[in-house]
Amino acid sequence: MMMTKQITDPPIEEKIEAIQAGDIVLQNEILQTYKPFIAKCVSEVCKRYIDPKKDDEFSVGLMAFNDAIFSYEQDKGSSFLSFAKLVVKRKVIDYIRYHQKRPNLLSLDEINDTEQMENPLVIAAAKEKHQIEAENIKRKEEIALFNEKLQTYRLTLEELTKASPKHRDARESAVQVAYILYLDSELSEYVYRKKKLPIKKLLKKVEVSKKTLERNRKFIIAIFIVLSSEYAYLKDYLKDYLKDVE
């Protein structure tokens, strides 16, 4: 019996990228396919059933979903549907608030007329929250990866918290030692291989006592791990300490 290869539908993020590149046919297809999703988002705001053929709120949500397609940035980290849901809800909320202030005066034609004015503010707010959420996710992922790497050196985040120098001068000194260690290929190789500090060799390169090196060993190793890896957020935290030694 011949097996047929199953064709999987590409992720919606790939489709959004194609639409942003000018695929109008795919744009119309996505708008049709996600009408139930849009109606659900609008319904959650209005707290009632939304009829796509009759309710103005749905039309507002549909326009907002279309705006989300062209303002979505995949490299920010969150999924498109999470971003679109936020944009749709905020646009509908703005519509309802405006409608309540001016009863019987707001029509869909007026919504179209004020689109240029309202939309940038809504999208900007949605994108800002989207970016913050994405950065929080990336920061948590980075800390998790850092913790995993620490464990290969038989260290934990809890230990590191207790072992960190209490005074700023001591922290700066330990960071400088870690930076010197990182720049020296021979010493770095020793740390990678042995998972510990080369105390004797390091003493020849730094103006720090053996006792201080041993006391700050865990902290120095942790900083060395950060410098040796692609930890953007953790490196950003260290930038003030490193600016005088780079």
Per-residue pLDDT tens over the stretch 80-98: 888 888 889 888 888 887 7
Q: What is the pLDDT of residues 122-157, one digit of tens each?
A: 555 556 666 676 677 777 878 888 888 888 889 888
What per-residue confidence (pLDDT) applies to 10? 77
Co-location of 131 and 164 in the same domain: no
CA distance 165 to 174: 8
What per-residue confidence (pLDDT) applies to 240? 63
Helices and strands, number each (H, E), in the chain = 14, 0
Q: Taking the model in full, what pTM does it have?
A: 0.48
Residues 6+ positions from 230 with CB-CB distance below 8 Å: none
Q: What is the pLDDT of residues 23-81, one digit of tens each?
A: 899 999 999 999 999 999 998 888 889 888 888 899 999 999 999 898 888 776 678 88
Domain assignment of residue 30, given as a range: 12-137
Rounded percentage of the chain residues whose pLDDT exceeds 70: 77
Number of domains within the chain: 2
Co-location of 160 and 127 in the same domain: no
Co-location of 133 and 16 in the same domain: yes
Residue 227 lies in a domain: yes
State both tokens at 119: 């939309």
- C-alpha distances in angstroms, 27 versus 21, 34, 36? 10, 11, 16
